[in-house]
Structures are given as structure tokens and as C-alpha cells.
Amino acid sequence: MSAQDQLIRLAQGWLGNGPSRLMYLCLYDWIACAIAGMDEPAAKLLQPEGEGAAQVFGRFPMSAPNAALINGTMGHALDYDDTHFDHIGHTSAVIMPAVLAMAQDQMLDGTSRVLDAALVGSEAAVRVGKWLGRDHYQIGYHQTATAGAFGATVALSRLMQLKRPQIHHALGLTATMASGLKGQFGTMGKPLNAGLAARTAIEAVTWAKAGMTSDPEGLESFATTHHGMRDDAAWTDEDPWMISRISHKFHACCHGLHAALEAIGDMRVDGDDIADMTITTHPRWMSVCNLPSPDTGLGVKFSYRHTAAMAVHGISTANIASYSDATARDPLLIAFRDKVTVVADESLSEMQARVQVTLKDGSGLTESHDLNTPMTLEAREVRLRDKAGALLGSTKASALWDALATHDTNAIFDVV
């Protein structure tokens, strides 16, 4: 069975019931990130004209493709949204804005239907990401946008109840439009990649439903031209709902930095007492978030050395405001980051890091952290609601939680 046929199976309910409560928390987290990202330059610079029924956070309703583009860019602008290490990217960043925009455009109200489509689409994104594999990512493609576009197309195919031939054509159309480059990391182009992917899915599904045809095996062709590994382990029945391993972010920076930051936090050591520090990570992250000397706040979000300097000097890595150009130019932090060495170790997983420090008195400390340590839904909810409170303020975060509970998607946009 081809990869495209596997995605159609997903769209048509192959896996049955899934972790809907987890998806509820993902939607809550992504919306909090989107509202907090409303005033980010990447989102504010997008000013498409035209009216429609799909709402945009803090703006007037517009067409579904434009709403998906802007909300998708907003939701990823802070780089604080969830990620998945099998997918090698962010899932909600593309899936949620696409599903919300299409649901409103088609007046398909009710969060239960939205969450059903988002769950299936998120699972599809993870599996396509795993199927395309490390070669696709390492050559320079942004899996959030490429695999994410296919996942969002599956989500919308389910939401719109497309027939099998229509789904084939929607996926084929997505294949000819899906794009996104890692070279955009550290720039406004990175969150734009997510918005463009969400818009691609809406356009592909809309056109396919209207009768536009395409390569019926477009995903296979995409893998050929985009360095896809075709890892058939992505389609195993033995690992149902890979999305269950999604990882939410509790530091406002690239997820590749989080294990190291958790380990540094466990050390509880002051930067003034440290002579040198070595951070050991998986080789994958060396080309993703190892900017040695960032000179902007965006760049800091992709720097082991600079975020380590922040952590040991009491500057919150969970606070969005910490990632400023002033932080990037801080002489104290620049001096400390020169004490930090980052090395790769293939024996570590992508979710693990080890931090070793030598103190000025000659003693040493070592801490390790694994982001794959299981977290209960109850514990996840507590941390996500705390995170939303820090992003939006406790009043607005509570209002968002209550709005989701009404199962009225319009109420979500009234929180702004």
C-alpha cells in the first residue's frame, strides 16, 4: 500500500478513537501561543485583503486561506507551540489554523468536530514526518511545513468528508505546493512557513472538492524530489496514535534546547561560580539550534550557549520577553557563553541532553534530562494552564479555557 493510500486510511478513520483530551490541550496551548503572537512582526506584516467567515485573532473575519495563513503565522511566531520528535517538527502550528479556518468558513461549528479532524491530521503529520525521515530534514527542508501541509490536508479531508478520489487529488495538489526551508530558522520566514502550509491545505482541499485533478500519487513523487527516506515504519499498526508522544514547550525557544535547559535548572548553580560548561546533545541539533553568537532575540532562541548563559544568570527562559535584542547584546551573557562548549553524542536520543560544569573551586557537576519522560494528562494540563497564564495573564487564560469548554469555536476568538 502506498504512503498516499495510508493517509487516506487515516482520513477515513483507520485508527478509531484516539486521545481526544490530549488534542483539547494542544488546541488550548496553540491558541494561547497565537493570541500572544498577535503583535509579532511576522504576523502584523501580513495584511491580505478581502472578507469572509473565518476569524483571525485580533482582526476582522476573512477568507479561509487568508485566515489560516495569518493565524498559522501568529501561532508559530513565538516558537512556543508543541513539537513532536518523530515528526521532526511542530504539529499544531499547521493543523489547528487550517481546521479552525475551514470549520468557520463552512459553518461547521463545534469544537468536537474540530478536534476530531485535528487529531487525525496531527497523526497524519507525524507519520508523514517519520516517513520522510531524517534525510529530508537534514538536507534542509522544514518538516513542520512540508509534512505539516500533508497532515493538514488529511485533517480537512476528514472535516469536509471528501471521497477517496478527492482525497487523492487533494494530497497530489498539496505535493506540488508544500514547501519550507530550515534556512529560515531565526527569521520571520520560519513562522511564515507554518502559515503557508496551513493555507496550502485549505486551497488543496477546496480545489479537489471542486473537481481539480492532480497526480494521484503526489506524496510518493514528493518523496522522490525532496529527499524522502520512505520509512515504512511510519505506517505500523503496532504503534497506534504516535501523536500521544507530543511534547509541549515550557521554554520559549527551540525545542532542541529544552532538555539542556531542564538539566541546567536541576543544577541550581549560579553563573558567577562556573568556570566552564559543556553541553552534550544529539547530532541533529547541531545544525538547528546551535547558533554560537546570536545578535538578535530571534537568534537567541536557537542558541545553546546563549540560553545557557541566561539560565545560569537567573533570566527566565520561559518568558517570551527574555528573548530580546538587548538580551542578545548583554555583555555579561556574551562573556559567559564563551565558556560554553556544545558537543554531539550519537548515543543520546534527540530528547536527551547532558550538561557538565566545572566550578571555579575545581569541583564539577553533571546533570542529564530526557524530555521523553512520561507526563500525565493532569500534570500536562497544570503546566499548560500555567504557561497560558504567563503568556496571556491569568484572566484571559481562564477565559480561553472556559471558551473551549463551551464547544463554540466563535467563543475562542472573543477572548482576544
**95-127, pLDDT tens digit by residue?**
999 999 999 999 987 788 999 999 999 999 999
pLDDT at 390: 86
- Average pLDDT in the chain: 94
Q: Report yes or no: 104 and 95 within 8 Å, Cβ to Cβ.
A: no
Q: Report yes or no: 154 and 7 within 8 Å, Cβ to Cβ.
A: yes
Q: Examine the pLDDT at 75 and tell me if it is beyond 90.
A: yes
Tell me which residue has cell 476568538.
413
Q: What is the percent of the chain where pLDDT is above 70?
A: 100
Q: Report yes or no: 262 and 268 within 8 Å, Cβ to Cβ.
A: no
Strands 274-281 and 364-370: unpaired
Q: What is the mean pLDDT of residues 53-63?
A: 94
**Residues facing residue 290 across a β-bridge:** 303
Instruction: Specify whether the backbone of 147 is left (phi greater than 0), alpha (psi in -120 to 50) or beta.
Output: alpha
Per mean pLDDT, which range of 69-73, 112-116, 353-357, 399-403 is the poorest?
Answer: 112-116
Q: Report yes or no: 133 and 84 within 8 Å, Cβ to Cβ.
A: no
Element (H, E) at 331: helix 331-337
Phi–psi pair at 277, nearest 5 degrees: -140, 140
Residue 113 or 146, more confident: 146
Instruction: Specify whether the backbone of 50 is left (phi greater than 0), alpha (psi in -120 to 50) or beta.
Output: left
Grid cell listed for 414: 472573543
Task: Read off the pLDDT of residues 203-262 as tens digits, 9 standing for 90 and up.
Answer: 999 999 999 999 989 999 999 999 999 999 999 988 789 999 999 999 989 889 999 999
Q: What is the mean pLDDT of residues 381-398?
A: 93
pLDDT at 144: 98
pLDDT at 48: 83
pLDDT at 111: 84
Q: What is the mean pLDDT of residues 304-324?
A: 93
**Residues facing residue 369 across a β-bridge:** 353
Q: Examine the pLDDT at 174 and tell me if it is beyond 80.
A: yes
Q: Examine the pLDDT at 319 and tell me if it is beyond 90.
A: no
pLDDT at 6: 93
pLDDT at 382: 95
Question: What is the greatest pairwise CA distance in the chain?
Answer: 73
Within 8 A by CB and 6+ apart from 393, the residues are: none
CA distance 127 to 88: 10
Per mean pLDDT, which range of 45-49, 74-78, 152-156, 368-372 is the poorest?
Answer: 45-49
CA distance 155 to 176: 18
Number of H helices, E strands in the chain: 18, 4
Q: Examine the pLDDT at 402 and tell me if it is beyond 90.
A: yes
Within 8 A by CB and 6+ apart from 260, the residues are: 279, 281, 304, 307, 308, 353, 355, 369
pLDDT at 47: 86
One-letter identity of residue 220: E
pLDDT at 366: 97
Q: Report yes or no: 32 and 159 within 8 Å, Cβ to Cβ.
A: no
CA distance 215 to 2: 13
pLDDT at 237: 85
Enter the pTM of the model: 0.86
